[in-house]
């Protein structure tokens, strides 16, 4: 009953979410204070507890004060969320208020005082670290639900599944306090989802997303205090599985891309599924299924001893990475490519890099054209390139270039070299394809290395490779810096030594042959 009432108030006073940017999935203005209805519904339900007399309410007894430990900081988060929905606020202010609420939760008794680490055991935390982890946990989960609130029914549905998990786990562990709040929150969410599911007539807003996120985070802290490793680690992680996975990948993506961590984008999991052409309802049901799967796994761990917690976390983590990887995030694809380069292809790449280094050393010691070309050929024979052209000299020094080439040809020391428009031209082919099929075909890319030093330009080297070839098993920086530098110095050294051999000393028959 509260949700349509809040909706009408928002419509009357213009409290709407207007789609001003491309991140918004909706195309028309929608009321955005749905969190008010959820907050009031849960509060009214909990306020009725003193008037209900049964075994459950009697079991609460002396722990009624724990309700205030959760509801007071949650109310602070809710009120700030309402302000944010109405007036807007910047990210640092949001985090500050959430951190204050987390600190208030700690002061009222909701604390992470023991850290249960798989394979290690239970670690008693010092006060400073306990405060820090409590605040970090509440802030992280609050924002996790806020981040996935980008599509009709998604955040509310994920929170509903998380509430069910907390309720069932608390019943199994005989924790009536968590059970009661989970039931109240689940009931409020069920009533709200009728109006929030696609096509939504009202949104959660920050007031709703932050409130349910903080409340669930606080319940997880209260419900797992002094619990076993498996309960303290696995159940909270799995209960909030979808929001945490989406938030974790969002932070990693933005960090790898060099973008601000808290700048919105359209690359959340639900956005990527929508980009495949799926409808909002289909995406919602698929992610509900993921929430249900996480929830079932969490409940299966209630009776476990905790011996396999670390192994199960690893298996689930791998499964999540593989599943999200299917969404074709650029960052995930780059990580896969990087792992393949650093692990699978490392030996081949290292061998090719060593070839370049050895060729570069030989080129640095070359004193003739053929010594330089032989070193290049040994480098090219590792098969990464299909064709190479080296062109040396200046066109205005055609006679000098011709003299140099003729002298080496007369001594039978240079091969595959000829005069071309007054320049010395050397070519190399891998052998499985002809040069005529390469140059100008449009099916090969070219790496052009200009040969130049402080004294001037001495030509260039072109390396050709097929567009459909496998990944280049070579650090391109070796070619563009180390190889290019030594090749330039060698070209300068060899071309300028020809001053001691004038053109007139070349036999006429060799001069004629080179022409």
The reported pLDDT for the residue numbered 263 is: 75
The reported pLDDT for the residue numbered 151 is: 87
The residue assigned the tokens 């011996």 is 307
Residues of the chain with pLDDT under 70: 20-24, 26, 61-62, 116-121, 223-233, 303-310, 331, 340-344, 412-413, 498-515
Q: What is the pTM of this model?
A: 0.70
d(CA 314, CA 312): 5
Nearest to residue 212, comparing CAs of 239, 177, 245?
239
Torsion of CA 415, 419, 424, 428, to 10 degrees: -40
Question: Helix, strand, coil: what percent of the chain each, to 5?
Answer: 65, 10, 25
Helix (H, G, I), strand (E, B) or coil at 140: helix
The reported pLDDT for the residue numbered 42 is: 95
Respond yes or no on whether the N-terminal peptide bond of residue 171 is cis (omega within 30° of 0). Answer: no
The reported pLDDT for the residue numbered 511 is: 35
The reported pLDDT for the residue numbered 500 is: 44
The reported pLDDT for the residue numbered 100 is: 96
The reported pLDDT for the residue numbered 512 is: 36
Q: In the chain, which segments carry CATH 3.30.450?
A: 346-514
CATH hierarchy code of domain 346-514: 3.30.450
Residue 430 · residue 386 · CB < 8 Å: yes
The distance of Cα 90 from the centroid of its chain, to the nearest Å, equals 24
Strands 114-117 and 121-124: antiparallel
As a whole number of Å, the end-to-end CA separation of the chain is 98
pLDDT tens per residue across span 145-154 = 998 888 889 9
d(CA 465, CA 454): 30
Residue 202 · residue 32 · CB < 8 Å: yes
What is the C-alpha radius of gyration for the chain, rounded to an integer number of angstroms? Answer: 35
Nearest to residue 74, comparing CAs of 46, 114, 49?
46
The reported pLDDT for the residue numbered 505 is: 37
The reported pLDDT for the residue numbered 67 is: 86
Q: What is the 3-state secondary structure (H, E, C) of 143-185?
A: HHHHHCCCCCCHHHHHHHHHHHHHHHHHHHCCCHHHHHHHHHH
The reported pLDDT for the residue numbered 3 is: 95
Q: Which long-range contacts (CB under 8 A, 24 or more apart) does 17-22 make?
A: 17/203, 17/205, 21/264, 22/266
Cβ-count burial of 434 within 10 angstroms (0-12 exposed, 13-18 middle, 19+ buried)?
exposed
Q: How far is CA 308 from CA 20, 135, 137, 311, 318, in A?
A: 48, 28, 24, 5, 15
Render 352-387 in DSSP notation, one character per residue.
HHHHHHHHHHHHHT--SHHHHHHHHHHHHTTSS-SE
CB atoms closer than 10 angstroms to residue 494: 21
């Amino acid at each position: 009953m509260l949700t349509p009432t809040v909706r009408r108030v928002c419509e009357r006073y213009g409290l709407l979410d207007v789609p001003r940017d491309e991140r918004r999935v909706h195309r028309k203005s929608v009321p955005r204070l749905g969190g008010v209805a959820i907050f009031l519904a849960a509060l009214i339900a909990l306020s009725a507890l003193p008037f209900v007399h049964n075994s459950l309410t009697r079991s609460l007894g002396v722990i009624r004060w724990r309700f205030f430990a959760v509801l007071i900081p949650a109310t602070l988060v809710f009120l700030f969320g309402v302000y944010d929905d109405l007036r807007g606020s910047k990210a640092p202010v949001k985090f500050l208020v959430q951190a204050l609420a987390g600190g208030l939760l700690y002061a009222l008794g909701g604390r992470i005082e023991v850290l249960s680490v798989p394979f290690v055991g239970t670690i008693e935390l010092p006060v400073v670290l306990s405060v820090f982890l409590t605040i970090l946990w509440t802030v992280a989960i609050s924002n996790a639900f806020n981040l996935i609130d980008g599509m009709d029914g998604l955040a509310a549905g994920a929170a509903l599944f998380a509430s069910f998990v907390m309720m069932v786990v608390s019943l199994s562990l005989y924790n009536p306090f968590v059970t009661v709040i989970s039931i109240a929150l689940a009931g409020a969410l069920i009533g709200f989802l009728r109006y929030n599911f696609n096509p939504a007539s009202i949104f959660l807003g920050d007031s709703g997303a932050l409130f349910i996120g903080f409340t669930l985070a606080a319940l997880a802290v209260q419900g797992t205090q002094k619990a076993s490793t498996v309960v303290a680690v696995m159940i909270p992680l799995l209960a909030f599985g979808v929001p945490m996975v989406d938030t974790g990948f969002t932070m990693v993506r933005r960090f790898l891309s060099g973008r601000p961590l808290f700048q919105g984008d359209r690359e959340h999991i639900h956005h990527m599924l929508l980009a495949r052409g799926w409808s909002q309802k289909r995406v919602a049901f698929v992610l509900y299924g993921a929430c249900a799967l996480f929830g079932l796994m969490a409940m299966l761990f209630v009776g476990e001893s905790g011996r396999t917690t670390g192994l199960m976390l690893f298996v689930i983590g791998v499964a999540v990475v593989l599943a999200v990887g299917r969404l074709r995030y650029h960052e995930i694809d780059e990580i896969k490519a990087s792992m393949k380069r650093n692990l699978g292809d490392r030996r081949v790449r290292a061998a090719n890099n060593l070839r370049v280094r050895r060729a570069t050393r030989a080129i640095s010691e070359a004193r003739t054209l053929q010594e330089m070309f032989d070193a290049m050929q040994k480098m090219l024979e590792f098969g990464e390139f299909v064709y190479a052209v080296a062109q040396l000299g200046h066109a205005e020094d055609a006679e000098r270039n011709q003299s140099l080439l003729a002298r080496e040809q007369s001594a039978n020391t240079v091969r595959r070299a000829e005069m071309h428009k007054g320049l010395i031209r050397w070519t190399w082919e891998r052998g499985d394809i002809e040069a005529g099929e390469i140059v100008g075909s449009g099916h090969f890319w070219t790496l052009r290395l200009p040969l130049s030093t402080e004294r001037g330009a001495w030509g260039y080297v072109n390396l050709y490779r097929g567009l459909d070839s496998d990944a280049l098993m070579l650090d391109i920086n070796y070619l563009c810096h180390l190889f290019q530098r030594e090749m330039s110095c060698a070209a300068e050294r060899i071309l300028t030594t020809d001053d001691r051999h004038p053109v007139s000393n070349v036999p006429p028959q060799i001069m004629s042959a080179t022409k």
